[in-house]
Amino acid sequence: MKIALISENSQAAKNSIISDALTSVVEPMGHQVFNYGMYTAEDDAQLTYVMNGLLAGILLNSKAADFVITGCGTGMGSMLACNSMPGVFCGLVIDPTDAFLFNRINDGNAVSMPYAKGFGWAAELNLKDCYHKLFGEEGGLGYPTERAEIMAKNRGVLADLKAATCHDMLSVLKAVDQDLLKSAIAGEKFAEYFYPNSQDDAISDYLRSL
């Protein structure tokens, strides 16, 4: 699995803590981590939580990433921005129980976490425990397990609903504020990570044209 990490400007100073915790858990499982930044609060490319959502939409719809880890001060802003994108199903994960239930029941493709609220002593241990619950077993197994079938059906209904209420990602990219879009893909490693992994030529070509 290709896992993308996206950090926004208010919590960018914690990127290395988050990245180290994530890679230490998921790389031994065989997953790859692509850290799209921000890397420090002083980065030239400044990402807001709104840009986090737009970037998550680009990465997931192009299949440049299979899963996105993002967040902000409370985690709520990035979650809302992610869920405004087509094909993105983002949960708010605060603790390992949230991570376990999101993986088992919702089986989404993104999580947003709080990196200011409650992010205190031993926060990296909470991150690691959450990542173990998110990626340590197959998604969608259900909880309780006897409800797995109805939960899978509901995920399909939600996916159909989202498809009916959202434009395709290329249409979104053409319709959004183009300065906002350019800022969202301005990270120093975006081109290095995105274009070799993107499986959608139309999205790639449009972003290159910018």
114 three-state secondary structure: strand
pLDDT at residue 79, as a whole number: 98
Residue 61 pLDDT: 98
What pLDDT, on a 0 to 100 scale, did the predictor assign at position 160? 97
Contact present, 92 and 112 (Cβ < 8 Å): yes
Sheet with 2-5, edge to edge strand ranges: 32-35, 2-5, 67-72, 110-114, 90-92
Give the CATH number of domain 2-209: 3.40.1400.10
Count CB neighbours of 143 within 10 A.
Answer: 13
pLDDT at position 145, please? 94
List the chain pLDDT tens, one digit each, 210 residues.
Answer: 999 999 999 999 999 999 999 999 999 999 999 999 999 999 999 999 999 999 999 999 999 999 999 999 999 999 999 999 999 999 999 999 999 999 999 999 999 999 999 999 999 999 999 999 999 999 999 999 999 999 999 999 999 999 999 999 999 999 999 999 999 999 999 999 999 999 999 999 999 999
How far apart, in whole angstroms, are the C-alpha atoms of residue 23 and residue 29?
10
pTM for this model (two decimals): 0.96
Domain boundaries defined on the chain: 2-209
Q: What number of other Cβ atoms are within 10 A of residue 120's Cβ?
A: 7
Q: What is the pLDDT of residue 123?
A: 97
